[in-house]
Structure 1
Amino acid sequence: MNMLKLTPLVITMVLSGCAVGPDYQTAEQTLTTKQKLVLETEYLNSGVAGVNNTSAFSTSSAWWYQFNDEVLNRLVADAQQQNIPLKIAAERIKAAKAYQNVVESFKVPTVSLGIGFSSLGLSENDPLLGPVVSSDNPLGMALVDSNQQAFHAGATIAWELDLFGRIDQQAKAASIRKEQADIFRQGLTTMITSEVIHNYLQFRGAQERKAIALAMVKDQEATLKLVNKVVASGYGSDLDLARAKAMLAATKSVVPQLETAENAHQQRLAILLGDSPAQMQQRLNRAKPLPELSGIIPTGLPSNLLQRRPDIRIAEREMAAVNAELGATIANQYPKFYLTGSPGLVAENFDDLFSSDSAAWIASVGVSWNLYDGGRGDALIELQEARFKSSVLSYQYAVNSAIGEVETMLAGYGNSHQYQTLVSDSKSETDKAVKKAKSLYAAGLADYLTVLDAQRQQHIMQDRVIAARLQTANFAVRLNKALGGNWEVL
């Protein structure tokens, strides 16, 4: 008897080792020899100014704190709490987790309870049962009461024995999909945060350029008064006056364009933060200079991208998910074993329902095996295998694209530093030229064309200085985004 009791357990333990499907390997191991992923020990452009390839990312603070701008820090923190797409992504994570729980629930038995009352009336004229319930038969008596009623209570238990790992592989795939939802939200956080920083920088840049333009207008208005006096005294010409007016009008025409840009970036920030236009205007009501990044940007090594970049991590998890789904598809071609049981209580009277004599039960074991499906099962396996090979190539493409993007941003960031230095030097020289030209014109040693040309060059260089600083700041944002830096507010 004891051996008979142990037999099902032994069989189950033996068959539990029959799980089918390919084991998942790491992304690098999965790539074929011709597609071997080669990662250099350092970036090609790692020696540019403003970066350090030996430093690791800081985990104590977010990288944009290097701009030393409290308004920007507050905007980013609020955006990560208030942005509507981020809230949607958070709900998708909850949905993915719920789906994972649904799939994993199939691993355990399903138990349902029920209690009820039933009544059955049998017809004496029934061609089959009538003679049994009627007294009009050879025995002269009814063998069964025509009115049947009973109280019943019981449970139904069903369980599929996952001997070949089909449910386990489906649960594994669902778990990986939940991980992908988490990574997707991290990637969306990166995108939203970079948009906030970019628009804030553009807003401050337009604001500072407008301030420069207004200062130039004021300066040119003063110069125009001087020209008017010189012309009135007979020492100047109408051509000088016309040129002064033209320069002033040209400078004034820039102001509305900059106000348009300023307003556009302010409204974009309001959308990103889920604020009203009035709320965002209140946040940015005080003018501030365009912030500049202090310190260096740590690049780390190319291999670090595999764990930092959300797109690469999602691609790797896609490989793992498809591999699990392939395993489930293969296991689906093997037999499915089911255990069911329905223990319960049945009695005619409710008072007798819970007595030992009212016990009743039914139990069964079954197997289902699809032996012929016209090749559908094999086709589904081929489909999943093709999906897996495609996911491997997508992973390789994501890695190559990420490294290429980092190299591009490194080169751009280094060149922007050089450009900013050269433009600043040039601007210093134009300031000196304007002062000299005005002095010569006031002394009658130069015509006004010299002053106008010097002011035009000064205006151009002042604007270029802001544009160069803005370009460097935006390259810093894009480089940190390419490197997969720390984008979460701690």
Structure 2
Amino acid sequence: MTAKRLLAGLAPLALMTACTVGPNYHAPEMAVPVSYQGPTAEAPPPGAEVDPATWWRAYGDLELDALVKRALAGNPDIQVAASRVRQARLAEIVAEAQGKPTLDAQANVSYIHFSKNAGLSSLAKQFGGGGSESGSGSSSGGVALPGDGITTYSAGFDTSWELDLFGGARRGVEAARARKEAAVWNGRDAAVTLAAEVADAYFALRADQERARIVNEEIARQTRALQIAAHIAEAGLAPHVDVTRQNASITSLRATLEPINADIAMKSHALGILIGEAPETLTAELAAPASAMAPVPSVPAGLPSDLLRRRPDVRAAERQLGAATADIGVAVADLYPKFNLTGMAQLISSALSNLFTGDSLQLTGTGAVQFPLLDWGRRKATVGMRKEDREQAYLNYRKTVLGALRDVEDALAQIDTERRRNATLNKALADSEETAKSVEAQYRTGFVAQDSLLNAETDVLKAREQVAMSDAQLREYTAALFKALGGGWQADAASSDTGK
């Protein structure tokens, strides 16, 4: 009850803590274009919209869905980001405790044994002390004699309070809260990056498997052609060199498979690491090529102004700017005096039987003020450093916004260019296949040499590989656009305060 009355007496002083030094934070206004320069896709019809939080589902690939889900659950980078969020929330609790009174309970038992040789026996007797020469036992009252001992019991509370008259502690809370929110946005940015990395590695893996399938089909086709050439050569209708030339072409095709297979293994290992497992974890699971890849989805880019709200890295940079602004107030508050109040309420007695009585009560109160006089410019220099931190945070915010706009524009340009290139490659493939059929018919009737046929078949193989790579490139560019737009995260209940 005594400690409560002491705190109640200090409470009116809290009314004095209305001044908050340092600049107030205002979110920066960044000028962005009204629309993107690159060609954007039209908005899909109702019911066909792509959810930015789970954009990878738009590709219609269950394996990709599962890989992204496993990565978001098990990737070490995501776990580190989650740990940093928890750490930032604890730092916010620490900051909120600054500027508030602290209350501690304490209990103490002490025993003092007085020296026989202190030369104070006569003086002690004059004050009514008593005791034996042997010094055994302890004094029950008065002054203990040399050779005797005294036991003291105490229990009570002590409180201290550094008054936040100039708002340094409040600015510290602002900074800690802003850093917590930045940590949340950084975690979301890690999820965005991870989902895009998984998609890129997966599309590259499937592209390599498609290339391997094309080469294997060509090897099988040329093997059948080799058998036909061998029969024709045995009949004397064609030179034997046609057989060896066809066999050399097959051997060359088999050699091209080796680097493709090595790349498939590397992409599988990369995906294993991305999901937080050993490199070989997905080797068997991803060994079979996909039956068919879904069409590349259409991605409406929206407006550049939406980008500032959606991109996690932009939001994190803005929150870091808010924290740097609040840090200035913390430094400015150090230029002003500091006021401290301390109080102690104790029950002290040499006998445990009467410890909890009114006569054992002892109260202590102290008020102190500390004025900064001479620090050789340290405090002012600290304020200047915090201002430079804010300037750097603002420039980093601008850089992040400009980089986000560039990411979107680059992705839009890449998608537009690759779509046109893809259409041209498909046309070239159709022409190459038609040419190869015509040359093969001429070869069978003896109008052209085998060299012409092999060249035509090589052109078809290259055209098919180029189309396969272009299809994969379109998917990767589309995933890059989803990432550039800030897709791949969703707010949860624990961090909904930063999702506005």
TM-score, normalised to structure 1, is 0.89
Out of 134, 140, 146, which is 2:124 matched to? 134
**What is the Cα deviation at residue 125 of structure 1?**
5.6
Aligned to 1:81: 73
8 Å Cα contact 2:88/2:176 also seen in 1: yes
Are the structure 2 counterparts of residues 163 and 489 from structure 1 closer, same or farther at C-alpha, using a change threshold of 3 Å?
Answer: closer
8 Å Cα contact 2:59/2:297 also seen in 1: no
> Does 2:28 match 1:38?
no
Aligned to 1:23: 24
> Does 2:70 match 1:70?
no
**What is the Cα deviation at residue 52 of structure 1?**
4.7
**What is the Cα deviation at residue 458 of structure 1?**
0.5
**What is the Cα deviation at residue 199 of structure 1?**
0.9
In structure 2, distance between residues paired with 1:187 and 1:73: 19
- CA distances 1:64-107 after superposition (whole Å, capped 9, x unpaired): 11110001101111110111221122112111211221222223
In structure 2, distance between residues paired with 1:242 and 1:51: 55
- CA distances 1:107-158 after superposition (whole Å, capped 9, x unpaired): 322111111211223447658xx378522x6x78787333432211111111
Question: How large is the RMSD of aligned CA atoms in angstroms?
Answer: 2.7
Out of 71, 87, 92, which is 2:84 matched to? 92
Aligned to 2:495: none
In structure 2, distance between residues paired with 1:57 and 1:372: 65
Amino acid at match of 1:359: L
In structure 1, distance between residues paired with 2:408 and 2:305: 12
Amino acid at match of 1:38: A
Aligned to 1:243: 245
Out of 88, 95, 102, which is 1:110 matched to? 102
In structure 1, distance between residues paired with 2:347 and 2:11: 28
Amino acid at match of 1:103: A
Aligned to 1:460: 462
Are the structure 2 counterparts of residues 132 and 236 from structure 1 closer, same or farther at C-alpha, using a change threshold of 3 Å?
Answer: farther
8 Å Cα contact 1:53/1:299 also seen in 2: no
Segment drifting more, 325-334 vs 347-356: 347-356
8 Å Cα contact 1:423/1:464 also seen in 2: yes
In structure 1, distance between residues paired with 2:429 and 2:236: 34
Out of 345, 348, 373, which is 1:346 matched to? 348
What is the aligned residue count? 471
Aligned to 1:433: 435
8 Å Cα contact 1:132/1:144 also seen in 2: no
Segment drifting more, 173-182 vs 286-295: 286-295
- CA distances 1:219-238 after superposition (whole Å, capped 9, x unpaired): 11111222222223233234
Gap regions ≥5 residues in structure 2: 1-6, 131-141, 493-500
**What is the Cα deviation at residue 447 of structure 1?**
2.2
What secondary structure, in the 3-state scheme, does the structure 2 residue paired with 1:379 have? Answer: helix
Segment drifting more, 386-395 vs 227-236: 227-236
> Does 2:477 match 1:475?
yes
Are the structure 2 counterparts of residues 61 and 312 from structure 1 closer, same or farther at C-alpha, using a change threshold of 3 Å?
Answer: closer
Out of 374, 396, 418, which is 1:394 matched to? 396
Aligned to 1:272: 274
> Does 2:177 match 1:175?
yes
8 Å Cα contact 1:160/1:338 also seen in 2: yes
8 Å Cα contact 1:441/1:451 also seen in 2: yes
- CA distances 1:192-249 after superposition (whole Å, capped 9, x unpaired): 1111111111111111110110010011111122222222323323443343233222
What secondary structure, in the 3-state scheme, does the structure 1 residue paired with 2:283 have? Answer: helix
Are the structure 2 counterparts of residues 486 and 271 from structure 1 closer, same or farther at C-alpha, using a change threshold of 3 Å?
Answer: closer
Aligned to 1:152: 154
Aligned to 1:229: 231
Gap regions ≥5 residues in structure 1: 29-36
What secondary structure, in the 3-state scheme, does the structure 1 residue paired with 2:33 have? Answer: coil
In structure 2, distance between residues paired with 1:364 and 1:335: 16
Are the structure 2 counterparts of residues 428 and 58 from structure 1 closer, same or farther at C-alpha, using a change threshold of 3 Å?
Answer: closer
In structure 2, distance between residues paired with 1:132 and 1:408: 98
- CA distances 1:415-448 after superposition (whole Å, capped 9, x unpaired): 1111111111221222222222222222223322
8 Å Cα contact 2:52/2:482 also seen in 1: no
